[in-house]
Amino acid sequence: MTNKIHKSCTFVSDHLMNFMEKSLFHILLILLILSPVSGFSQKTAVENKSKEKQNIYLDASVGAAFPLGNYANDDPKDKATGYAKTGFFIQANADWMGENNFGLALQLTYQNNALKDTAKTVISYGFPIGSGNWSNIYIMGGPVFLKQIKKIAIDAKLVGGFLISTSPVFEITNPETNMKEGGTVTGFAIGVNIGVGYAISQKVALKLTLGYLAGFPKIDRQYNAYVIGMDTAGHFIYSSPMDIEIKKTISTFNTGLGIIYKF
């Protein structure tokens, strides 16, 4: 009887151990399968959280560019005169937003202002300025503040950089060849922009933009002395060296409409 009880206990014990070993194996197998999934889920959650903090906004706008100050002046006696008419601008922005509604803005602007009729008769370095236009490209960057209140988004940018400006007012005459030169110059630029957007979907908004742009292009040319003739004694006659500098200030108030897309 005792042997039977001992064998029964041994049988139960063996089966219990086998069952526990199999159960432990199954548990470990499940944990191994779920571990990568759990890790991936955590990684995805972190990435999503990171993306939420790193919003990117792209916007494009077009509108009118109103010349200000000397840029709009048409007095030929003033060397700073720009002869600019009201024109247009096309602008694109890329805003990377960090924390606390602040971020970094990159801005590319093309601006065009035709010359006033006064410029047609103004003689500049041997030739009339004539007709034509100002063609200005601004490449700038700086801080941006963007605040969204329900469907309304308000942003403000302060940017700086450089511009490439092309205009007949920068054309000069080479004193030796009597040919026109120049026309395209560079300079530094600054700008302030305020925009108000209204969301029409989760990712798209319409925008009203107001801005001020200022640029300071300059051309500086030096011409060495060159032979202009010969005297009666057979000696060469030389011209005087010449230094030509033209400075202008471009300043406009820009207003237009655009669209914003949020990534």
Q: Which residues contact 76 (CB under 8 A, 6 or more apart)?
A: 118, 122
pTM for the full predicted model = 0.74
pLDDT in tens, 242-252: 778 889 999 99
The predicted structure's pLDDT at residue 248 = 94
The predicted structure's pLDDT at residue 23 = 54
Distance of CA 65 to the CA centre of its chain: 18
The predicted structure's pLDDT at residue 237 = 82
The number of residues in the chain equals: 263
pLDDT in tens, 211-242: 999 999 998 877 777 777 887 888 888 778 87
The predicted structure's pLDDT at residue 33 = 55
* Spatial separation of the C-alpha atoms in residues 59 and 77, rounded to whole Å: 41
pLDDT in tens, 24-39: 555 545 555 554 444 4
**Which residues in the chain land under pLDDT 70?**
1-54, 126
Q: Look-up: residue for tokens 């030739």?
A: 127
* Spatial separation of the C-alpha atoms in residues 248 and 82, rounded to whole Å: 7
User: What are the extents of the domains in the chain?
Assistant: 1-52, 54-262
* Spatial separation of the C-alpha atoms in residues 207 and 235, rounded to whole Å: 71
CATH number of 54-262: 2.40.160.20
The predicted structure's pLDDT at residue 46 = 43
* Spatial separation of the C-alpha atoms in residues 86 and 67, rounded to whole Å: 6
The predicted structure's pLDDT at residue 173 = 77
The predicted structure's pLDDT at residue 129 = 86
